[in-house]
Structure 1
Amino acid sequence: MSEANPIENTAPDWAAWSREAVQTMMARNAEWPGQFGLQASPAYRWDLDKAILVLEGALHKVVATVCLVGTSSDSEGSFLWSWANEAVPPQHGQALEVVHDFGRDNQLALLTTASIQGGRPEATECLCIAARLQRAMGTFIDKQGDVTLYFSILHMQLAPVEGALAN
């Protein structure tokens, strides 16, 4: 008589999977600033239409390709996925298709419901899940008044030096 494999026929522990996504992104966020020579809190600017984030280090700039995963509103107490926000350029929603598909395939309402009640903790969880599924390098969060924007960082590189002299 053989024992049944306890792993077979058990549903994934999505809460543990989600916690792991948050831990993974926290670890990656601790790494990339040092890898790109960005100390403390570098000056930055983002452009939603171009899907870029520019970070200014002491000696150089770093350009990141980003995806706006979603936004939260302090006054509304909710998180809105970018794929459900008509004000967000469509390329961000397209970059989130992997997340939306994963949510549908696994019946995860958190990933398929346009607006989720909650604040920064819930929004950060959604961000980290999205970043994990996108295989992102890390995440970036920016607050603009009542709205907080949650970005996944898909790619980073040093910006070309303007006016560099050729040898």
Structure 2
Amino acid sequence: MSEGNQSTDWAAWSREAVEAMMAHNAQWPRQFGLLEAPSYRWDLDKATLVLQAPLHQVVATVCLVGTTSDSEGSFLWSWANDAIPAQHSEALQVVREFGQANDLALLTTPRIVGGRPEATECLCIAGRLQRAVGTFIDKQGDVTLYFTILHLQVAGDEGVLVN
């Protein structure tokens, strides 16, 4: 992968990843006719996120990048969490390999001290490397889940997906 090299300013590169994902996140909901706060449901086993627009459903293929725990004050990459289905780790392989190739501890350390800011940075970097459509964050009690959105499409009337 030719995304980085020895003279790369990684702080600037990371900021660019966050800015790009923010731009993507402003675009894809409008593109798919989603309101400000659509109802949704995700399924880790199927790696899907279903969002409800006023007249249709939008189905996303997602990758759970990782989770934060308010009580633990840390971000845990999905590839380091045995409770997360393996397909998420597989989708994150490009991120780990990039981290290893460029000696970036943020991308190769299983648990990172911090919270939402650190998790958001990891999420946006993963999104950049996966060429994600956008990102999605959901809070469930003490745990916040950070997803990249790899593909989006409108669901057909009879559960058949159409482009």
Give TM-score scaled by structure 2 length: 0.93
Partner of residue 63, structure 1: 59
Partner secondary structure for residue 54 of structure 2: coil
Partner of residue 80, structure 1: 76
Which structure 2 segments of 5+ residues have no match? none
Return the alpha-carbon distance in structure 1 between the equivalents of residues 140 and 44 of structure 2.
Answer: 14
> Does residue 1:25 correspond to 2:25, yes or no?
no
Choose which of 9, 14, 38 in structure 1 pairs with 2:34.
38
* AA partner of residue 103 (structure 2): Q
Return the alpha-carbon distance in structure 2 between the equivalents of residues 27 and 151 of structure 1.
Answer: 16
> Does residue 1:115 correspond to 2:114, yes or no?
no
Partner of residue 105, structure 1: 101
Q: Aligned residues: percent identity?
A: 74
Partner secondary structure for residue 143 of structure 1: strand
Partner of residue 131, structure 2: 135
Partner secondary structure for residue 38 of structure 1: coil
Partner secondary structure for residue 142 of structure 1: strand
* AA partner of residue 96 (structure 1): L
Q: Deviation string for 1:2-57 (max 9, x for gaps)?
A: xxxxxxx9621000000000000000000000000001100000000000000000
Greater Rg over alpha carbons, structure: 1
Distance verdict in 2 for CA 1:106–1:27, change over 3 Å: same
Return the alpha-carbon distance in structure 2 between the equivalents of residues 33 and 81 of structure 1.
Answer: 26
Moved over 4 A (4+): none
Pairwise CA RMSD: 1.4
Partner secondary structure for residue 87 of structure 1: coil
Task: Work out the number of aligned pairs and report it.
Answer: 156
Q: How far apart are residue 162 of structure 1 and its match? A: 2.8
Return the alpha-carbon distance in structure 2 between the equivalents of residues 55 and 84 of structure 1.
Answer: 28
Partner of residue 47, structure 1: 43
Which structure 1 segments of 5+ residues have no match? 1-8
> Does residue 1:160 correspond to 2:150, yes or no?
no
Partner secondary structure for residue 59 of structure 1: coil
Q: Deviation string for 1:80-113 (max 9, x for gaps)?
A: 0000000000000000000000000000000000
* AA partner of residue 90 (structure 2): Q
Q: How far apart are residue 135 of structure 1 and its match? A: 0.1
Distance verdict in 2 for CA 1:121–1:65, change over 3 Å: same
